[in-house]
Amino acid sequence: MKPGFSPRGGGFGGRGGFGDRGGRGGGRGGFGGGHRHEGVFICRGKEDALVTKNLVPGESVYGEKRVSIAEGDDKIEYRAWNPFRSKLAAAILGGIDQIHIKPGAKVLYLGAASGTTVSHVSDIVGPDGLVYAVEFSHRSGRDLINLAKKRTNIIPVIEDARHPHKYRMLIAMVDVIFADVAQPDQTRIVALNAHTFLRNGGHFVISIKANCIDSTASAEAVFASEVKKMQQENMKPQEQLTLEPYERDHAVVVGVYRPPPKVKN
Amino acid sequence: MLVLFETSVGYAIFKVLNEKKLQEVDSLWKEFETPEKANKIVKLKHFEKFQDTAEALAAFTALMEGKINKQLKKVLKKIVKEAHEPLAVADAKLGGVIKEKLNLSCIHSPVVNELMRGIRSQMDGLIPGVEPREMAAMCLGLAHSLSRYRLKFSADKVDTMIVQAISLLDDLDKELNNYIMRCREWYGWHFPELGKIISDNLTYCKCLQKVGDRKNYASAQLSELLPEEVEAEVKAAAEISMGTEVSEEDICNILHLCTQVIEISEYRTQLYEYLQNRMMAIAPNVTVMVGELVGARLIAHAGSLLNLAKHAASTVQILGAEKALFRALKSRRDTPKYGLIYHASLVGQTSPKHKGKISRMLAAKTVLAIRYDAFGEDSSSAMGVENRAKLEARLRTLEDRGIRKISGTGKALAKAEKYEHKSEVKTYDPSGDSTLPTCSKKRKIEEVDKEDEVIEKKAKKAKIKVKG
């Protein structure tokens, strides 16, 4: 954990520690092993891919490729995670330190859309965890509900995330808030939800699109102003990472909410 | 002070035991660190449990609209009015409504928010008698019900029914065909002539079911099933049949099979009616344009009505002919002009020359109808009827143009041929009068001489013979 807050810009080289380099022969996709983040894996082959373990084997959510790896007697199915479509995958491949979404965690996902990234988060948290997926659009909501029918650890909420009190009866305290809402007042939205649902010491992962907040200012200035807004709301940012080469002028900020006071020895 | 806390399993009303602690907003979270500490600051006064998801749904939809439903009213009147204490609520608007309707004073402030946070974090410990699994299940059920309520989900507009019904229809047809063939073959061992006389499958089975063994045909009454001549034929054939005798058990089994066949046939007609009803309910415009069967097959092929609506008109035109399409594309030949749409009535009633044109026009208008049904709010078929009328008018002009084309284009009609008088005089040809082979009476000069010589020689020979 880095002390204080240090932004990491783009061009950050690939981090070491991407599991063991299996290096199986080309052609057949070999399994490279686990990623530093729990619940995320790497599939080695002609092209390496980030994969998650499929909670519902045999089904593809948005037409992504699936890989079946034999482990002893049974086959485990993994689904490929596309970093161009999912900001969380782009952040992981960019080398983010901690995503805080791990097996058994309770996640509040704001801006769930049709559920492509939500399905991968659901794979990571597994059957013990929960994903509360909030989406306001009706079209995407329909796809989200269909997804939630198949995966019982996803709870669909078709409400405006600006008013968390409207869905207060559905959600218990969560460990992580992931926000991908693309709204100019997204920090306020996340803050409201954090005040209502995020436990003390819980973490937040926010994806910021610079164009969305202010299209005239430069991306760096926008990110800095968002970070400042967060600090005013009792949310302490810990990492910032831009999503090059997958997205332009996008950044992901990870932080902690109401950290427990440090015991001074 | 009392606190109203809504959960997916019911309403909880807590009493704050230590009001002084509320003054320090920032350290209030410390009081909720463990369940024991939490129980010291708030106590559960009353818990109104929901009996099932339907009740919970009704309660929260009322809350969303800013009204108080009867259950909440009852609880509030009973508990809060008696206690004469202010009520802390999470939603300021709700507080206003409660004050208006029930005249209870409500509080909403940052302190209340902190309190709510604390209660939420220790929800399991503060509300005894509710298992976490039950809470989770209720939560999930309630979330799904609320989402459906938000999306105005209506159970008739589910297109999965259509996809399944049409697949079942095809399966039934295949099975029915198998069973009927088996039945004919089996019974044909005993009475082969019946199969040749009665060609309709259902009548065959009904006839079989009525009579059974060949011996009973003479005394059987088949007038409802068959016309008189056929009945007479059947009875005659039964007398002189060349099939073998079979025992009671065998006939029994054949009869079982027949009963099955008849039941499945009846179910098939029923299923077809059901499919027609569903199609009219879900996609009325498509039904008007292409008919129920073709519309259902298109939806089944695409997977759902929404998926079908995403396709371009050219795709809908050749949906169902993918094998031919890709084969033609690979070998750079002409691609097919129609797929499933070939079976629509509009395409069926045109001449083969115009089927391609009509199929294209029909696909274009059908795609509009599909999108109207998939995304539109109202479910009337006015748009489909209008489009169909337009198409039929265009079809008629196409046919008329075609008729004129047989005798030449408009330009060719305008061009008149130059008039030339050919005088033809017809005479009577007598060669057809006699059937004897004709030889011309005028013979040629060389032939005549030769023939005379031959005749003279013969005459001389003859004379000599006579003398001698």
Best A170, A198, A233 member to test B by mutation, with max B CBs in 10 Å, is A170
Question: In this predicted model, what pLDDT tens digit does every residue of A234-252 receive, in sequence order?
Answer: 899 999 999 999 999 999 9
- For residue B78, the model assigns a pLDDT of 84
For residue A169, give the nearest of B60, B121, B148 by CB distance: B60
Q: Which of B170, B186, B190, B200 is nearest to B256 (CA)?
A: B186
Provide the number of CB pairs (under 8 Å) joining chain A to chain B. Answer: 66
Alpha carbon distance B153, A158 (integer Å): 13
Q: Which residues from B are below 8 Å from A when comparing CB atoms?
A: 6-8, 29, 60, 64, 90-91, 113, 116-117, 120-121, 123, 136, 139-140, 142-144, 146-148, 150-151
Tell me B431's DSSP state: G
B198: closest CA of chain A, how far (Å): 50
pLDDT at B410: 62
* pLDDT-above-70 percentage for chain A: 87
Q: What is the pTM of this model?
A: 0.70
- Calculate how close chain A gets to B252, using CA atoms only, in Å: 46
Taking the C-alpha atoms of residue A200 and residue B118, their distance in angstroms, rounded to an integer, is 10
Q: What does the alpha-carbon distance between residue A58 and residue A69 come to, in Å, rounded to a whole number?
A: 13
Burial (CB < 10 A; 0-12, 13-18, 19+), residue B446, is: exposed
Which ipTM was obtained for this model? 0.84
Confidence at residue A72, expressed as pLDDT on a 0 to 100 scale: 85
- In the prediction, which pLDDT does A18 show? 35
Enumerate residues 6+ apart whose C-beta is below 8 A from B308: B298, B299, B301, B302, B316, B370, B374
Residue B23: predicted pLDDT = 80
Contact B150 A159 (CB under 8 A): yes
B156 pLDDT band (50/70/90 cuts)?
Answer: confident
Using 50, 70 and 90 to split pLDDT, how confident is the model at A261?
confident
Q: Which comes out higher in pLDDT, residue B300 or B437?
A: B300
Give the closest of A158, A165, A170 to B139, CB-based: A170
8 Å CB contact of B123 and A159? no
Tell me what pLDDT residue A22 has: 30
Burial class (CB in 10 A: 0-12, 13-18, 19+), B461: exposed
- B375: closest chain A residue by CA: A139
Among candidates B8, B117, B150 on the partner chain, residue whose Cβ is nearest the Cβ of A170:
B8
A145: which chain B residues are within 8 Å (Cβ-Cβ)?
144, 147-148, 151
Q: What is the pLDDT of residues A96-151, one digit of tens each?
A: 999 999 999 999 999 999 999 999 999 999 999 999 999 999 889 989 999 999 99
What is the pLDDT at residue A16? 33
pLDDT at B449 over 70: no
Q: At A213, is the pLDDT very low, low, confident or very high (cuts 50, 70, 90)?
A: very high
Please tell me if residue A234 touches chain B, with a CB cutoff of 8 Å: no
d(CA B132, CA B72): 23
Between CA B399 and CA B391 the distance in angstroms is: 12
pLDDT digits (tens, 9 = 90+) for B28-43: 888 888 888 888 888 8
Give the pLDDT score at A4: 40
pLDDT on residue A28: 34
Check whether B217 has a pLDDT greater than 90: no
Set of chain A residues whose Cβ sits within 8 Å of the Cβ of B146 = 157-158, 170
Among A59, A118, A137, A165, the residue to mutate for chain B (most B Cβ within 10 A): A165
Q: Is the pLDDT of residue B434 over 90?
A: no
**β-strand A74-81 against B106-107: which pairing, if any?**
unpaired
Residue B465 has pLDDT above 70, yes or no: no
How confident is the model over B230-236, as a mean pLDDT? 88
Q: At A3, is the pLDDT very low, low, confident or very high (cuts 50, 70, 90)?
A: very low
* Distance between CA atoms of residues B258 and B198, nearest Å: 15
Give, to the nearest 10 degrees, the angle between helix A116-125 and helix A138-150: 30
Taking the C-alpha atoms of residue A247 and residue B326, their distance in angstroms, rounded to an integer, is 36
Q: Is the pLDDT of residue A197 over 50?
A: yes
Rounded Cα–Cα distance for residues B247 and A214 (Å): 91
**A147-166 residue pLDDT tens:** 999 999 999 999 999 999 99
B-contacting residues in A 13-32 (Cβ below 8 Å): none
Cβ atoms within 10 Å of A173's Cβ, excluding its own = 18
Distances (CA, A) of A196 to A123, A168, A186, A230, B112: 26, 8, 15, 16, 11
Q: What angle do CA A153, A155, A156 make, to 5 degrees?
A: 140
Confidence band for B446, pLDDT divided at 50, 70 and 90? low
Q: In chain B, which residues have their Cβ closer than 8 Å to the Cβ of A152?
A: 140
Q: Is the pLDDT of residue B104 over 50?
A: yes
Indicate the residue type of A108: L
User: In chain B, which residue's Cα lies nearest the Cα of A172?
Assistant: B120
- Assess A129–B contact: CB distance below 8 Å, yes or no: no
Distance from CA of A48 to the nearest CA of B (A): 32
Residue A34 — pLDDT band, cuts 50, 70, 90?
A: confident
A142 touches chain B (CB under 8 A): yes
- Quick check: B150 and A199 CB within 8 A? no
**Quick check: A156 and B147 CB within 8 A?**
yes
Mean pLDDT of A78-91: 95
Angle at B406 between CA B402 and CA B409, to 5 degrees: 80
**For residue B371, pLDDT beyond 70:** yes
CB of A139 within 8 Å of any CB in chain B?
Answer: no
Of A149, A158, A169, the CB nearest to B7: A169
CB half-sphere exposure, B269, CA atoms < 13 A: 6
